[in-house]
Amino acid sequence: MKDTIRKLQQEFDQAELRADREKLRRLLADDFLSIGPKGFVLDKEAWIVRHDQFKYVALDASEVDVRVYDSAAIVRCVQRNRATYKNEEVVLSVRVSHMWVNVQGQWHVAGSQFSPLAQEQPTAKTA
């Protein structure tokens, strides 16, 4: 089941990168909510429509961790993104949690939460 969820997450990421609204409509749960890195909340329609002004240039996921439960799964990863918003460059490094749910045999993203990565602390040099 982890492989299935991992493939669905990759589909979702590709749909985001390509602004594939039809695929996003199929993959997102009707009651989907996303919490952005600055605390804003978007529902399914607002998430899809944001592609009018938000365009990905690159979306790279690493440190992908998939946890599967009876009818739910959580995918956590680090995303490093380059995009434009209203023609202004946006560069994000965030930790993301995507919550997947299985409803009547179909997996959907029910929620996403984005958190800025903690600043790396400089290491002290020893003399």
Q: 97-103 contacts: CB < 8 A, separation 24 or more?
A: 98/9, 98/12, 98/74, 99/72, 99/73, 99/74, 100/5, 100/8, 100/9, 100/72, 100/73, 100/74, 100/75, 101/29, 101/71, 101/72, 101/73, 102/71, 102/72, 103/29, 103/71
pLDDT of residue 118: 80
Ordered per-residue pLDDT tens for the chain, 127 residues: 999 999 999 999 999 999 999 999 999 999 999 999 999 999 999 999 999 999 999 999 999 999 999 999 999 999 999 999 999 999 999 999 999 999 999 999 999 999 999 875 444 444 3
**What fold, for 2-116?**
Nuclear Transport Factor 2; Chain: A, (3.10.450)
Residue ranges covered by each domain of the chain:
2-116
pLDDT of residue 99: 98
pLDDT of residue 53: 95
Reported pTM? 0.89
pLDDT of residue 126: 41
